Amino acid sequence: MPLHTHSAPMMVYVQDVRSGSLLNTRVPPDGTEIKTIFKPGEAFVEGANEPHYVDNVGKEPTIVWVTVASVEGMPTTEFINE
């Protein structure tokens, strides 16, 4: 999934059965890249308005479950044009 942000925090869980791993790359204002691999069964919180992109780094599709702490009508994902 290309570079994007979320208007509200998100709880992300990588499914622990029949799922690949997820590479989450955060891009802070200085332009560096902070890479973290989340394996099946792991979870993390994606902060609001933090630019990032994700890649499947497993041998099979990565399945994620996402919970959003937001309000009705607020967009969930905003893509960043590079």
Give the whole-angstrom CA distance, residue 17 versus residue 37. 17
- Percent of the chain beyond pLDDT 70? 99
What is the longest distance spanned by two Cα atoms in the chain? 37
Contact criterion met (CB below 8 Å) for 12 and 43: yes
Going by C-alpha positions, the residue among 69, 65, 9, 13 that lies closest to residue 39 is 13
Give the whole-angstrom CA distance, residue 33 versus residue 36. 10
Give the mean model confidence (pLDDT) for residues 2-24. 96
- The pLDDT confidence band at residue 58, using thresholds 50, 70 and 90, is confident
Each residue's pLDDT tens digit, 32-57:
999 999 999 999 999 999 999 999 99
Q: Which residues, in sequence order, are CB contacts of 81 under 8 Å at separation 6+?
A: none
pLDDT score recorded for residue 82:
64
pLDDT score recorded for residue 81:
85
Contact criterion met (CB below 8 Å) for 57 and 37: yes
